[in-house]
Chain A
């Protein structure tokens, strides 16, 4: 059986239009491609040293 209180905790307030700008700025846009490029560059730097 469903526990109303527990289920209610799964519902979060929706973002309002005024908060959209902040949400966009706070998004972490790092992707796997970024990480790979960073790792490759670090390994190259280590080789040079």
Chain B
């Protein structure tokens, strides 16, 4: 027993010897939990599983960390066929105490055998299906389904109870009694089972009266000994006088009775046998159908999954070979490299590279692609920057500021260290009347090239523009 405040081991005192907290009430709660656990254990020992479930749940309401109570509750659930409830309790138990916990063994026992787990799941699905049949008033199908469930898991109490209820509804009292006896073999004190049993016993009671009546009839016979033989004869019947005619009539009556017995006893038995065989065949076919339906559903799911995968892969492949795809871009890159190596023409090389830029996310491309692309850009960048700057400057001098902005922007893009290009871009913005862009560009000049003449001029222009904007 550990202190709820500091986690130290508690002594016989009503306070924690480590932190001094009053633990009297806490100890009482744990004692009550233990008491319920002991009660649950006793009930489980005598197969009062319903009572054990109630006591153990009560124990866990007082102390959720009572591992033994939780494990036993799982075991009791498992015994009544409630496998999922059992697994839930064991998983929680394992979570609360990961080491040295018997729940580990229980979980492994269920999960280690995939076939067994599958069978458990099939049982549950069939039980639920039987319940649906009951709701839809298909009671015969429900009975067949429940028989299948019980052939897979004979300890499933709820299935026994539902089957008994169906038998009660169809007034098959003896069959209902048999199911309820099986229920009681598993769980002796289940209230629902006891209630159904009471009704069934009441309905079967008239048979006992009949037995009593037959005993009474037996009293109407005369029994006496003649030498070593016991003679039994009805008390009020006189021996008829024997003659041939009577003998013939008796033989005839005997034959008729024999034929009647044949017709009423032997023929129904044969018919019953045939019906039983047919029923077995129907059950077997239904079983096969269920298995095949399940298999078809599994295969359909697999087909859907594979179709999706196929579509996904096709889309991916189309992306690789399409006009905007990666292979096309590799072509553009190789062409750009070829053009540069053959002609040293930076403009044409740039044109090829430009096509790649529009479609490719560089971060997603391969390393070799990225390396070649970067190398080409670094090789042609300064020359391109120079050309764009010269063209831009000509446009600037001709007061074609929009063209100049476009060309200076390209120059800066290919060589960010070209101070003249950046500074003149700012100037072009300013003279074109785009004050905000001009201020932003001048700020870049000040930041990137501090303590230079261009930075000082950029600062002056920037302040003038800010004054204009403020004014």
Closest to B62 in A: A32
Which residues of chain A from 7 to 43 have any CB-CB distance to chain B below 8 Å in the complex? 7-8, 10-11, 13-20, 23-24, 27, 29-34, 36-37, 40
> Would A13 and B131 count as touching, CB distance under 8 A?
yes
> Would B162 and A11 count as touching, CB distance under 8 A?
yes
Determine the distance from Cα of A35 to Cα of B192 in the docked complex, in whole angstroms. 33
> Would A16 and B192 count as touching, CB distance under 8 A?
no
Closest to A16 in B: B124
In the complex, what residues of A have CB within 8 A of residue B82's CB? Answer: 14
In the complex, what residues of A have CB within 8 A of residue B334's CB? Answer: none
Determine the distance from Cα of A19 to Cα of B199 in the docked complex, in whole angstroms. 36
> Would B134 and A8 count as touching, CB distance under 8 A?
yes
> Would A7 and B165 count as touching, CB distance under 8 A?
yes
Indicate which residue in B30, B125, B131, B199 contacts A2 across the interface (CB closer than 8 Å): B199
CB distance from A33 to the nearest CB of B (A): 5
Determine the distance from Cα of A33 to Cα of B169 in the docked complex, in whole angstroms. 46
In the complex, what residues of A have CB within 8 A of residue B131's CB? Answer: 11, 13
B85 within 8 A of A: yes
Closest to B123 in A: A14
> Would B64 and A23 count as touching, CB distance under 8 A?
no
In the complex, what residues of B have CB within 8 A of residue A33's CB? Answer: 4, 26, 29-30, 33, 62-65
> Would A16 and B121 count as touching, CB distance under 8 A?
yes
Determine the distance from Cα of A16 to Cα of B125 in the docked complex, in whole angstroms. 7
Interface of B is mostly: helix
CB distance from B240 to the nearest CB of A (A): 49
Residue from B64, B65, B117 with most neighbouring chain A CB atoms (10 Å): B64
> Would B4 and A23 count as touching, CB distance under 8 A?
no
Residue from A1, A27, A36 with most neighbouring chain B CB atoms (10 Å): A36
Determine the distance from Cα of A15 to Cα of B64 in the docked complex, in whole angstroms. 22
CB distance from A16 to the nearest CB of B (A): 5
Interface of A is mostly: helix
Indicate which residue in A1, A11, A14, A29 contacts B124 across the interface (CB closer than 8 Å): A14
Determine the distance from Cα of A27 to Cα of B96 in the docked complex, in whole angstroms. 14
> Would A2 and B165 count as touching, CB distance under 8 A?
yes
1/0 per position for B154-184, CB-CB distance to A under 8 A? Answer: 0000100110010011000000000000000
B128 within 8 A of A: yes
Indicate which residue in A2, A16, A19, A29 contacts B64 across the interface (CB closer than 8 Å): A29
Which residues of chain B from 388 to 416 have any CB-CB distance to chain A below 8 Å in the complex? none
Determine the distance from Cα of A31 to Cα of B127 in the docked complex, in whole angstroms. 33
> Would A2 and B63 count as touching, CB distance under 8 A?
no
Determine the distance from Cα of A14 to Cα of B91 in the docked complex, in whole angstroms. 18
Residue from B120, B124, B135, B192 with most neighbouring chain A CB atoms (10 Å): B124
1/0 per position for B1-36, CB-CB distance to A under 8 A? Answer: 000100000000000000000000110011011000
User: Which 9 pairs show the lowest CB-CB distances between chains A and B?
Assistant: A31-B64, A15-B84, A4-B169, A13-B128, A32-B62, A17-B121, A14-B124, A37-B4, A20-B84
Other A-B contacts than A10-B192, A16-B124, A33-B30, 8 sampled, CB-CB below 8 A, are A2-B199, A8-B134, A8-B165, A11-B158, A16-B128, A20-B87, A31-B61, A32-B62
29 A-B residue pairings within 8 Å (CB atoms): A2-B168, A2-B169, A2-B196, A4-B165, A11-B162, A13-B127, A13-B128, A13-B131, A14-B128, A15-B84, A15-B85, A15-B124, A16-B84, A17-B83, A17-B117, A17-B121, A20-B87, A23-B84, A27-B88, A27-B92, A29-B64, A30-B64, A31-B61, A32-B33, A32-B61, A33-B33, A33-B62, A36-B25, A40-B25
